[in-house]
Chain A
């Protein structure tokens, strides 16, 4: 009876019904609680388990709460997946997972290819991913792929300190341009609280993936956030005269060695860049390269002669996510209107 009374008091404190479960201890973020959940392998199968040379097998797996999921000899994979493979020799696949609270697990499956011995070397062309930056038919590095936001709070890896003589990582405002510094009041819910595009380069710095699709004369840079995209000609053409101001600007690109240089103008004045507004004179030069197969290097040089004393530079890197081949759909209007949660504010 006493226990019941305590329970009722606890539940009354939470404002929840008596039928509800015991409440978690106060004072700890639920994300920290969730962050301790251990990893587990739900399933790992191969079918069929015996094949003739040249036949295919299907590998399927499901993992929950992983920090990392890899299949040897494929490499990093999504937590849930399915791959059709053509192993040339008898092969054992090993699914290894790690998770929070030092949790880890491992499972193996083997496909026997008739008349072959177990293969020690990577046995499957489908499973082998490139180990160096691939190149397109015209010799340029191929940036195509899905990229994550990596560590650093959804903004890509933290920038390295500026080298001596390099452009500064933060701008200096011109005299009289203080009004372009963004200062948010308590009622200002911020740049990402509406369905309006964040523009360039902020579209790169949200906690959603981006995808590059490279074609012979264009590169497409697509962002999952708001499903924004730019189709950028890479043939070195000039900007059209007086492009209409737009959220993502008018972009043209050229190759400088293995670096794609994207020059853009024609922006509207509705976006912010790292806490600063700008005018329609905004000019951005982006440089994209791949120092290695798993890393996209991104630099954006920002200029606005009406606002800043000179150019400044934002640098980020983004990890290739070989386990994904396309972005998710994003429909901003799916999000709920949270205004009621704020009461009358």
Chain B
């Protein structure tokens, strides 16, 4: 049971990366991915916030993607509140997807339905 508690926070601190013990190995960070989907739920929690996104695969089937965001202190510093993302909204996330192929990614920026882009 390995949990990566502040991978995202470590990634954010680009100016002086944390030491190597914060593995980022599970996400493809060098080649970012953008996905669009409909928010199923938004979990405003530490150590990281999560969005569960209903994404259509290439056959048109719904696939639930798990979108990891920063910790709450980072998100607040970007101007987020717990209602910034709402269930039912169509949003676009850009970040690193799981190398394993699992429907999972860590999102660095997010586009809301009105076109606003936010660090995430």
Q: Which chain A residues have a beta carbon within 8 Å of chain B's beta carbons?
A: 14-24, 26-35, 37, 40, 42, 62-66, 78-80, 151-155, 158, 184, 188-195, 206-209, 224-225, 275, 328-332, 334-343
Contact = CB atoms under 8 A, between A and B. Distances in A.
25 contacts: A19-B36, A19-B60, A24-B32, A29-B29, A30-B108, A31-B14, A34-B109, A34-B119, A37-B119, A65-B117, A65-B119, A154-B9, A189-B21, A192-B5, A193-B23, A194-B2, A195-B3, A207-B18, A225-B6, A328-B46, A336-B50, A338-B3, A338-B4, A340-B102, A343-B100
B92 to A, nearest CB: 6
Given A23-B33, A195-B3, A207-B6, A78 B76 contact: yes
A224 B48 CA distance: 12
The 6 A-B residue pairs whose C-beta atoms are closest, nearest first, are A190-B21, A30-B108, A153-B16, A34-B109, A64-B79, A207-B9
A21 B36 contact: yes
Majority SS of interface residues in chain A? loop
Interface string B45-60: 1111010000111111
Nearest to A22: B34
Interface of B: 1-6, 9-23, 25-27, 29-36, 43, 45-48, 50, 55-60, 66, 68, 71-74, 76-79, 81, 92, 94-96, 98-102, 104, 107-109, 116-120
B14 A329 contact: no
B3 A17 contact: no
Among B2, B16, B22, B94, find the residue whose CB has the most chain A CB atoms closer than 10 A. Answer: B2
Given A30-B95, A30-B96, A79 B36 contact: no
A42 B3 contact: no
Contacts of B2: 189, 193-194, 337-339, 342
A31 B9 contact: no
Nearest to A40: B116
Contact of B34 (A23, A328, A343): A23
